[in-house]
Amino acid sequence: MTGGSRVPALPPVGIGTAPFGRLYTPVSARTVAATLEAARAAGIGYLDTAPGYGDGLSEERIGRHLAASGTRPVISTKVGTVVDALPPLDLGDPDAVTMEPGRVHRGWSVADVRRSVADSLARLRVDAVDVALLHDPETHEDEAATTAYEALRQLRVEGVIGAIGVGCNHVDVATRFVERLDLDYVLIAGRYTLLDHSALDDLLPRALDRGTRIIAAGVFNTGILASGQPGDRFHYRPAPDHIRERVGRLVELCDRHGVELGAAAAQFPSGHPAVASTVVGMRSPDEVLANVEALRRPIPATFWDELRERALLPATAPVPRVAPLMSGGLP
């Protein structure tokens, strides 16, 4: 295991900041600042970002807020996307919501990795980041696992990053990286949720064996588990019939036990011993408050038991016994 005791420990919950970079719909700079302030006030001390989130826009907005507020949360960012030209930023207009995309390229060379990290530090206005993740490396696995990984190892020696990992939504890719490399973290998006358990049998046990900690992201499967509405997205696309039917069964069971579907979805991944942190995308102060409440709300053991009985969860899936934010010392 790389890093040993030097590896930064992650808070149990973090904010996924892809919405700050125009994911689905634009968000104004003022709303981003208010969202980050609401998260700070609620005690959420971890932000996950990437250069690819709005071609640097998410990182730029986070950095501006951190500089103004004087706060320093735990930060993870990613390499694999290099921003060649920024879009027009909303520096002078806190209500701006429309920005043209910039120009980017995918790159895994030493020069690309070092430039990506240096640019991220400049946008974030920090001297180092806690975690750097190889971002969606499936099309360049060998180069990412050799050249880019070694570049990150050197940056860690230099004190520029604290931990190394992989972030993707392909279980087979993530598992191969865990087996091949000494990784501190793997961020797996949308593959350990109430609807998608594909990380359970191979990735999570292998991560436990190797001492690699899991960051569970995409816990709402891009929307449908947040709302329970069959018309919402599943893995970024309209939900297929079998997913719509399964969501209907989950909603019915939630109603019977007095549990909100969003609370169950947000809390489920934390039950697995390999999971160190759960990352939830948030785009407004109201979403921060709603998600914090969901992550604090007690869920009865009988609910999880019935999920298993009705084959809505695998019998081998560990379930949370305490809400992730119940013991975190949050206000």
- Asked whether the predicted pLDDT for residue 31 surpasses 70, the reply is yes
Model confidence over 176-193: pLDDT tens digits?
Answer: 999 999 999 999 999 999
Beta bridge partners of 47: 15, 75
> What CA–CA distances, in Å, run from 311 to 4, 197, 246, 307?
39, 12, 10, 6
Amino acid type, 74: V
Model confidence over 223-234: pLDDT tens digits?
Answer: 899 888 877 888
Q: What is the DSSP letter of 92?
A: T
Neighbours of 133 (CB within 10 A): 28
Bridge pairing between strands 103-106 and 81-85? antiparallel
Residue with tokens 């900041």: 17
- Asked whether the predicted pLDDT for residue 214 surpasses 70, the reply is yes
From the list 53, 149, 185, 192, the catalytic residue is: 53
Alpha-carbon gap, residue 272 to 268, rounded angstroms = 8
Q: Do the Cβ atoms of 321 and 327 come closer than 8 Å? A: no
How much is the pLDDT for 5? 43
Residue 53 annotated as catalytic: yes
- Judged by average pLDDT, the poorest of 28-32, 146-150, 251-255 is 28-32
- Any idea which fold 8-309 has? TIM Barrel (3.20.20)
Band (pLDDT 50/70/90 cuts) for residue 161 is very high
Residue with tokens 């609910």: 303
- Write out the two tokens for 130: 């806690």
When comparing pLDDT for 79 and 3, which is higher?
79
- Asked whether the predicted pLDDT for residue 208 surpasses 50, the reply is yes
Element (H, E) at 75: strand 74-79
Neighbours of 287 (CB within 10 A): 18
Model confidence over 78-137: pLDDT tens digits?
Answer: 999 999 987 666 656 667 665 566 788 999 999 999 999 999 999 999 999 999 999 999
Alpha-carbon gap, residue 278 to 214, rounded angstroms = 9
How much is the pLDDT for 13? 96
pTM, 2 dp = 0.93
